[in-house]
């Protein structure tokens, strides 16, 4: 079994355990392959840490480090204590055994609780994969950093942490119609009913990470550039540095599909580069509008067209919700912009409705709401 097949098998095994979490699991696979960090936003109880721990259990021969940060977390708890013996001899050396600087996979829960004592070291570790304390500098073996929080940071210093995570994903509870499956799978997990696991070593993953750089992006380069310009025009910040790094995600999508060349649908990964929750739907609309130009085929990543066939009833409910919000009270400029962004997203989604009568009805309702908004402006 080659390494790519191994990684796909691992992701499938985790999906069998965590019902309705395919999106999270696939993106963790993308992050691992691209060696890019992943941030999970969501309330407690949505299986964020459980999924990460399950992924860690498939990586053998390396150290996994996970920690729940609080406002009082000290550097010693993350990076390890100073070596007292060497300190007496005048040397400042950290004993990193079993700590973050030795880990292959790192999971930091409630990362925005990070305080000033650990912030600088954490930022360097996330961005440059380096641990520095005094004159001591150590290159980190981390394959990927994963973090989680139930809210986004408001403090600018903490916002710098979010910037170090290229992939950002909102995690919610599973839809009600799949609750029974969740209960059954969860009960198996509670009873420790384990089946055979596919295992992979850090060395094998590093080999895959090197091969990602060999994926040919030439065929989608012009579309990628156009998409970056489009996102910037909608107010979504994409720095040149991030634009370069995001190519790793596109290449990872191709590689997970056993391709050495990227195709248009691989740009699906760019739906997960938002900085605010308000940007999520705008990104989805912009990226989906581009990749829908490509025919769905077996070569595409399964997440690329996951939302290609929207439910007309759900779309209409969302339009009604926006109409009610718009009519309910005086809106601030920011609230009005959020409604506009969501309306654009729904407009793009409606284009995918196959039933022409339902499609026309939803578009009529959307057009009426646009007229109300424009009239008020």
How many Å apart are CA 215 and CA 31, to the nearest integer? Answer: 16
Residues 6+ apart with CB under 8 A from 105: 52, 55, 56, 59, 62, 64, 65, 142, 143, 144, 146
| Nearest CA among 352, 342, 351, 348 for reference residue 373 | 342
| Nearest CA among 76, 62, 160 for reference residue 105 | 62
Buried b (16+ CB within 10 A) or exposed e, 129-161: bebebeeeebebebbbbbbbbbebbeeeebebb
330: helix, coil or strand? coil
Per-residue pLDDT of the chain (377 residues; tens, 9 = 90+): 689 999 999 999 999 889 889 999 999 999 999 999 999 999 988 889 999 999 999 999 889 999 999 999 999 999 998 876 765 566 677 888 999 999 999 999 999 999 999 999 999 999 999 998 777 889 999 999 999 999 999 888 899 999 999 999 999 887 766 777 777 777 777 777 667 789 999 999 999 999 999 999 999 999 999 999 999 998 899 999 999 999 999 999 999 999 999 999 999 999 999 999 989 988 988 998 888 877 656 688 888 876 555 678 888 988 998 888 888 767 887 778 778 877 877 887 787 677 888 889 998 999 999 988 887 76
Tell me if 228 sits within 8 A of 240, measured CB to CB. Answer: no
Instruction: Write out the H or E segment, with its range, that includes residue 366.
Output: helix 356-376
| Nearest CA among 330, 269, 23, 45 for reference residue 170 | 23
CA 371 to chain centre: 36
151: helix, coil or strand? coil
- State both tokens at 81: 């204590």
Instruction: Write out the H or E segment, with its range, that includes residue 293.
Output: none
| Per-residue confidence (pLDDT) for residue 312, from 0 to 100 | 86
| Nearest CA among 243, 254, 245 for reference residue 217 | 254
């Amino acid at each position: 079994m080659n390494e790519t097949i191994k990684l796909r098998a691992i992701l499938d095994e985790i999906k069998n355990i965590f019902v309705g979490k395919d999106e999270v699991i696939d993106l963790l696979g993308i992050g691992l392959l691209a060696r890019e960090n992943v941030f999970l936003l969501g309330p407690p109880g949505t299986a964020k840490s459980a999924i990460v721990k399950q992924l860690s259990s498939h990586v053998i021969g390396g150290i996994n480090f996970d920690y729940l940060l609080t406002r009082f977390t000290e550097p010693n708890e993350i990076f390890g204590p100073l070596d007292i013996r060497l300190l007496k001899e005048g040397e400042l050396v950290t004993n990193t055994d079993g700590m973050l600087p030795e880990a292959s996979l790192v999971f930091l829960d409630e990362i925005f609780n990070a305080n000033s004592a650990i912030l600088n070291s954490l930022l360097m570790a996330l961005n440059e994969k380096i641990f520095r304390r005094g004159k001591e500098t150590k290159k980190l073996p981390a394959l990927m950093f994963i973090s989680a929080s139930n809210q986004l940071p408001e403090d600018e210093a903490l916002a710098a942490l979010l910037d170090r995570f290229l992939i950002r994903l909102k995690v919610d509870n599973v839809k009600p119609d799949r609750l029974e499956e969740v209960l059954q799978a969860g009960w198996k997990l509670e009873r420790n009913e384990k089946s055979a696991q596919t295992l992979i070593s850090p060395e094998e993953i590093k080999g895959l990470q090197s091969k990602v750089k060999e994926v040919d992006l030439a065929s989608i380069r012009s579309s990628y550039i156009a998409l970056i310009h489009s996102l910037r025009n909608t107010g979504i910040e994409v720095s040149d540095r991030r634009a370069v790094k995001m190519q790793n995600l596109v290449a990872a999508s191709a590689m997970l599909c056993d391709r050495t060349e990227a195709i248009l649908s691989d740009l699906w990964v760019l739906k997960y580069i938002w900085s605010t929750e308000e940007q999520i739907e705008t990104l989805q609309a912009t990226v989906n509008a581009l990749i829908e130009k490509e025919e769905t085929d077996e070569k595409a990543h399964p997440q690329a067209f996951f939302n290609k066939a929207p439910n007309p009833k759900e779309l209409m409910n969302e339009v009604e919700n926006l109409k009610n919000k718009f009519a309910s009270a005086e809106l601030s400029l920011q609230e009005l912009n959020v409604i506009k962004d969501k309306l654009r997203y729904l407009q793009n989604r409606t284009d995918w409705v196959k039933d022409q009568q339902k499609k026309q009805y939803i578009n009529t309702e959307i057009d009426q709401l646009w007229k109300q908004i424009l009239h008020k402006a």
